Amino acid sequence: MNTIVEKITEQLQNAFAECGYDRKYAKVSLSNRPDLCEYQCNGAMAAAKEYKKAPFMIADEVVAKLDKNPLFDRIESVKPGFINIILSGQAVADYVNEMTQAKQFGYENPEKPKTVIVDYGGANAAKPLHVGHLRSAVIGESVKRIQRFAGNKVIGDVHLGDWGLQMGLIIEELRDRKPELPYFDEQFTGEYPAEAPFTISELEEIYPAASAKSKEDAAFMERAHNATLKLQSGDKACTAIWKHIMAVSKADLKKNYDNLNVSFDLWKGESDAQPYIPSMVQEMIDKGLAYESQGAMVVDIQEEGDTKELPPCIVRKSDGAALYATSDLATLVEREKLYQPDAYIYLADKRQELHFTQVFRVAKKAGIVNPQAEMTFLGFGTMNGKDGKPFKTRSGGVMRLEHLIADINEAVYKKMMENRTMDEEEARATAKIVGLAALKYGDLSNQASKDYVFDIERFASFEGNTGPYILYTIVRIKSILNKYTDSGKTLENLSINPADSATEKALMLSLAKFSEIMAAVYTEKAPHKLCQFIYEVSNAFNGFYHDTKILAETDEAKQKGYIALICLTKAVLEQCIELLAIECPRSEEHTSELQSRGLISYAVFCLK
């Protein structure tokens, strides 16, 4: 299905050609003066140079050819040579009707499908998940879904940090706390216990304690380093403890990610890359890429045209240890072997930019990935508190994700209880869905690379570009549709009529942008642009809704047209929030019923 811009362009191209001008000048875009027109073409201005004619003369000729064209309500040339376009109500209705029938509302990605690995989440096993990981999970999940929607084969990998010093710290802290465990008995030869020597809550407490201790106790730190090295060289006891840590930690992480509606196809980690490291580094040495520098092995990454000096990438430290970059390179070796991806997308804090530049360049130089592979680093900014500094707890510590979510739910719940019409169960159920939508949408609606201020008051508000506002809009439409069907009418075989009000046409025009917006969201990997679109559609719907008596309309044909239009609006909005991994209450379930009801009464209360 052609996009609406393509349909308009086609008509303009024909007109330019009929007048003897090159078709390439018939470029159409959304109007930047929506008060004057809906779409515009500035091609006559460009053509004027080639044909040595006044631009308005060209525009006049082109417009004359299109005067009677049924696609346009009005097409006019405006000095010095712009072509302003207003579509006919019929053409817009035809287009949105076509959208309702088409797969994915007509959005098609013209590229041939690619295999893409999205590396996101990036939690560090056994360490608490903090708000820094929230952005990676939330943005990454959306980027992954957008890639999939565009027809790519997408593999999401959580890429856990599971091979670092935290493991040695935990092992040694455990030794101090429970020296009687068989892992610490050098003489022990039997089978190690199948059950972990700690629960998740103990583990959560062990790591910060060990980390604090290591900062004061140099001997302890030394032991932790040794234990880490022992683990990395395959020591049986350390490996057995590591496996327990991983099992307990992964189960907990899964729960956390589930709560965020984030899920991974692969639960791999840095440890999976370790077997590839020795041969990979050797190959870099053999190829003459890696050379010794102050005892370490390094690879130069400086390229012609770089505006600043980039330090070489260290692939092996002087003590023989592997580094973060080594492990990311070896992970690429494995990914190439197992999946042969055409593209990679990594999500991490933007302060890791240099790291990824190093990894990408070395990977290409060393032939680990092929030269055409697309490698993208999506670096995200910091989530700040209202004071403009990185988000902290009240006591100044790093905010843990589950606490953050609990805090938001509580804040929303409290506000709801001010609204006396709601009972406790309803308020709890609603707070959960509003809170999560507020949190995720609050993050996704900002351009990922920018820092943003976490402002729960604003995120949880029903006004402005917020998650709750979007959910409210969808639930509002659902409630109209429910009332409509409850009165015995059906949602089948409806079609949208040409608009009979400005707000109705505006809603159709905003829906009609879907394919173009999706194309930009996909190529730019920019969920925030999807949020802008969602917000625009929601505003357009609410404008239409305030202007139009949908359920009270007595002209049945008219009413059917309205219903068809809001069905499409709902479907498009639901598709969009699905791409953001934000959930809306589904009316089939009990809690959702409560959520829906709660959401509407809460929104009405807030908006009063």
Of 483, 477, 471, give the one whose Cα is nearest residue 606: 471
Q: How far is the CB of 291 from ligand ARG (least distance, A)?
A: 24
Q: Which is nearer to ligand ARG, 263 or 479 (CB)?
A: 263
Q: How far is the CB of 139 from ligand ARG (least distance, A)?
A: 13
Q: Which is nearer to ligand ARG, 359 or 537 (CB)?
A: 359
Q: How far is the CB of 405 from ligand ARG (least distance, A)?
A: 19
Instruction: Read off the tokens for 50.
Output: 């080639």
- With the C-alpha atoms ordered 349, 355, 358, 364, is the resulting torsion angle positive or negative? negative
Q: How far is the CB of 369 from ligand ARG (least distance, A)?
A: 14
* Stretch 332-361 residues interacting with ligand ARG (CB under 6 A): 346, 348
* Stretch 268-287 residues interacting with ligand ARG (CB under 6 A): none
In this chain, which of 7, 135, 144, 159 binds ligand ARG, going by CB under 6 A? 159
Buried residues in 495-522 as b, exposed as e (16+ CB within 10 A) = ebbebeeebbbbbbbbbbbbbbbbbebb
Do the beta carbons of residue 497 and residue 558 sit within 8 Å? yes
The residue range among 11-19, 117-125, 181-189, 364-372 that interacts with ligand ARG, by the rule CB under 6 A, is 117-125
Minimal CB distance to ligand ARG: which residue? 122
Q: Which is nearer to ligand ARG, 172 or 272 (CB)?
A: 272
Measured distance CA(297)–CA(281) in Å, rounded: 9
8-state DSSP, 181 = S
124 binds ligand ARG (CB under 6 A): yes
Site string for ligand ARG, 19-58 (x = CB under 6 A): ----------------------------------------
Q: How far is the CB of 124 from ligand ARG (least distance, A)?
A: 5
Q: Which is nearer to ligand ARG, 142 or 466 (CB)?
A: 142
| Amino acid at the residue 347 | L
Starting at the edge strand found earlier in the chain, the sheet holding 290-293 runs 290-293, 296-299, 313-316
Q: For the packed helices 218-232 and 236-259, what is the interaxial angle rounded to 10 degrees?
A: 90
Give me the phi and psi of 75, to 5 degrees please: -135, 125
Instruction: Read off the tokens for 578.
Output: 């699905």
8-state DSSP, 93 = H
Alpha carbons within 13 A on the beta-carbon side of 155? 18
Instruction: Read off the tokens for 156.
Output: 């999401």
Q: How far is the CB of 295 from ligand ARG (least distance, A)?
A: 25
Q: How far is the CB of 160 from ligand ARG (least distance, A)?
A: 7
Q: Which is nearer to ligand ARG, 125 or 412 (CB)?
A: 125
Of 586, 579, 512, 535, give the one whose Cα is nearest residue 102: 512
The residue range among 116-124, 205-213, 463-471, 557-565 that interacts with ligand ARG, by the rule CB under 6 A, is 116-124
Measured distance CA(443)–CA(454) in Å, rounded: 8
| Amino acid at the residue 287 | K
Q: Which is nearer to ligand ARG, 97 or 358 (CB)?
A: 358
Site size for ligand ARG, by CB under 6 A?
8
In this chain, which of 55, 106, 156, 161 binds ligand ARG, going by CB under 6 A? 161
Q: How far is the CB of 30 from ligand ARG (least distance, A)?
A: 37
Strands (E), 321-382: 343-349, 374-380
Q: Which is nearer to ligand ARG, 241 or 348 (CB)?
A: 348
Site string for ligand ARG, 300-339 (x = CB under 6 A): ----------------------------x-----------
Q: How far is the CB of 154 from ligand ARG (least distance, A)?
A: 16
Do the beta carbons of residue 323 and residue 359 sit within 8 Å? no
3-state secondary structure of 84: strand
Q: Which is nearer to ligand ARG, 137 or 496 (CB)?
A: 137
Q: Which is nearer to ligand ARG, 348 or 576 (CB)?
A: 348
Q: How far is the CB of 575 from ligand ARG (least distance, A)?
A: 29
The residue range among 118-126, 208-216, 510-518, 562-570 that interacts with ligand ARG, by the rule CB under 6 A, is 118-126
Q: How far is the CB of 14 from ligand ARG (least distance, A)?
A: 50
Instruction: Read off the tokens for 144.
Output: 């992954």
Q: Which is nearer to ligand ARG, 399 or 594 (CB)?
A: 399
Q: How far is the CB of 125 from ligand ARG (least distance, A)?
A: 9
Do the beta carbons of residue 138 and residue 260 sit within 8 Å? yes
Measured distance CA(16)–CA(47) in Å, rounded: 10
- In sequence order, the β-bridge partners of residue 116 are 154, 343
Measured distance CA(534)–CA(511) in Å, rounded: 9
Q: Which is nearer to ligand ARG, 122 or 468 (CB)?
A: 122
Q: Which is nearer to ligand ARG, 100 or 352 (CB)?
A: 352
In this chain, which of 38, 119, 204, 342 binds ligand ARG, going by CB under 6 A? 119
Buried residues in 436-471 as b, exposed as e (16+ CB within 10 A) = bbbbbbbbbbbebeeebbbebeebbbbeebbbbbbb
Do the beta carbons of residue 296 and residue 314 sit within 8 Å? yes
Instruction: Read off the tokens for 152.
Output: 């790519």
Measured distance CA(400)–CA(525) in Å, rounded: 27
Q: Which is nearer to ligand ARG, 237 or 401 (CB)?
A: 401
Q: How far is the CB of 353 from ligand ARG (least distance, A)?
A: 12
The residue range among 51-59, 119-127, 243-251, 424-432 that interacts with ligand ARG, by the rule CB under 6 A, is 119-127
3-state secondary structure of 22: coil
Q: Which residues bind ligand ARG (CB under 6 A)?
A: 119, 122, 124, 159, 161, 328, 346, 348
